Amino acid sequence: MVSIAGFCAEFIRVLVTLTRPLSDYVLQFLYGLFMGGTKQLPPIENKILLIPATELAEKIRKRQLSCEEVMKAYIERAKQVHPYINAAVDERYEDALKDARNIDKFLASGVKSEEDIARDTPLLGVPFTCKEAIGVKGMKQTSGLVRHKDHVAEEDSHSAGFYRKAGAIPITVTDVPELCMWWESSNHVNGLTKNPYDNTRTVGGSSGGEGAIVTSAGALFGIGNDIAGSIRIPSSFCGIYGHKPSKGVISNWGTFPFCHIKTEHGDRTTEFVSTGPMCRYARDLPLLTRVLSDNDQRLQLDTKVNFRNVKVYYIEEFPGLLNAAVPDVKTAVRKAVRHFEDQYEVTATPIKFPELRHAFSIWECKLLEYDGMPFSFYLRGEDKSINFWWELFKSIFRCSDHTLPAIYFGMVDRRTKDKFYYFCLEQFKELERRFKEIFEEDAIVLVPNHPEPPPHYLMTIPMYPNIAYTCIFNILGLPSSQIPAGLSKGVPIGIQAVSGHLKDRISIAAALELDKVFNGWISPCPINI
């Protein structure tokens, strides 16, 4: 089963990769023919939607803007873009407006100074969204599973709770793939989330709903989590910022169904999961990371970074013909490198680690080593077994409860500890040693977030190994900030700034620095203000 499904997918990957750019034109034509043209989002016409979270919070607490008018602006926009992107799967608009009015009354009372409010509730009155699987009390939390289509979160996840503690107000929860274990956000409960830049291409996953709604200005910032790129990939494909923090910094508690299932040996792959912020504006990353980490002092986020004292390394592409990055992505990396060299008089060092050729397989093997349960265990639920070939057959007639990517992932899920498995573990040890040497001092590594622009829908199946560019940093436990790097053929691309463990301030500072180079978020629709 594994060999047949994997062979077919790999054949398509080889064909598409080796025939570029011809294959790109062919796919664009075919997808446009069958899916139609992209429906452009309505223009942004309210200037409130263009204010960064840190500035918006300041205006609210200074009563320069009422919390109610801010909330109304985002609710109106979320409703406006929903038919175009299908990102929100549940909302609490009326309750959010009540929360906003209560905040306005509190501010009018003057019982607390602006300084105290800024210290205690730095996001007071600012709306936020959340990946539905992470959990906001009273809102849908299905993880895209048909059998749990009516499941509602009984309490806030830790991360949603920290945003609320900081004064932020949840308004929607957003779409995910089945069990959050794919990089395309579609399921048979809530449907397909569309990329507003090009409706034929994926928004990424598993935090794809967050990526789509934030870039469409239906939200300002949100929460994602990441075991292989699930914050960084959708952030890149939707042209926004996202930060995967250092291992163990931000709590993952509350994710459904994983936090509700006990396994025989204990699934230690949760150590590779990182919860973190996704946002439109780079300047919001430090505050959002501070809030979600419950002000973890180890991160030293208030310490200013001087890039004259930071070593700069870069990777244009991973070794291996099929891992190659497209020219626009490599150009973006070089542009970022030149900025640091010119502005800070540093000499950037290229990295060519041969172990990165096997990055995807190393990630698979580490999940297996860390007692990762078979994907089928979570997918089948209370059923004793699941036959993926039968599910594949049923999916042809749209009779399966499971999506094609979930079925494929179940088929190719690595479960064998063979010679190649032990080879990959040895490769990981060497890779870990190499990066540890680099990060013994303050340093960043600039690397593509993905080797190509967002793939077309379901092309995520043959191109699955391309998540190597992000998943390798999950098992290394390193912080990584996704940085929008402009458009390629009309769709976003991005690069990562990776730094040492608990050196999140450096990767975030690199995002702030490169915001000046690439100009950050580029609206997928006209701005009429």
Residue 323's nearest CA partner among 455, 429, 183, 463 is: 463
Examine the residue annotation and report whether 230 is marked as an active-site residue of this protein: yes
Residue 221's nearest CA partner among 357, 53, 89 is: 53
Examine the residue annotation and report whether 311 is marked as an active-site residue of this protein: no
- The residues, ordered by sequence, that sit 6+ positions from 130 with a Cβ below 8 Å of its Cβ are 136, 157, 159, 160, 163, 170, 172, 173, 174, 210, 222, 223
Secondary structure class of 207 (helix, strand, coil):
coil
- Separation of alpha carbons 112 and 463, rounded Å: 54
Secondary structure class of 426 (helix, strand, coil):
helix
Query: Where do runs of H (alpha helix) occur along 134-197?
Result: 158-165
First to last CA, the chain: 55
Long-range Cβ pairs for the range 13-16 (8 Å, 24+)? 13/322, 13/462, 13/463, 13/465, 14/322, 16/459, 16/462, 16/463
Catalytic residue among 131, 194, 247, 503: 131
How far are the Cα atoms of 155, 233, 345, 499 from residue 453, in angstroms, in the given order? 37, 10, 31, 24
Catalytic residue among 157, 159, 186, 206: 206
DSSP states along 72-100 = HHHHHHHHHHHHHH--EEEE-HHHHHHHH
- Note whether 364 and 467 are within 8 A (CB): no
Catalytic residue among 143, 157, 207, 230: 230
- Note whether 288 and 53 are within 8 A (CB): yes
Residue in the block written with tokens 């929008």: 484
- Note whether 509 and 305 are within 8 A (CB): yes
Hey, which bits of 424-489 come out as E strands? 443-448, 480-488
Hey, which bits of 86-167 come out as E strands? 88-91, 127-131
- Separation of alpha carbons 305 and 505, rounded Å: 8
> Active-site residue numbers?
131, 206, 230
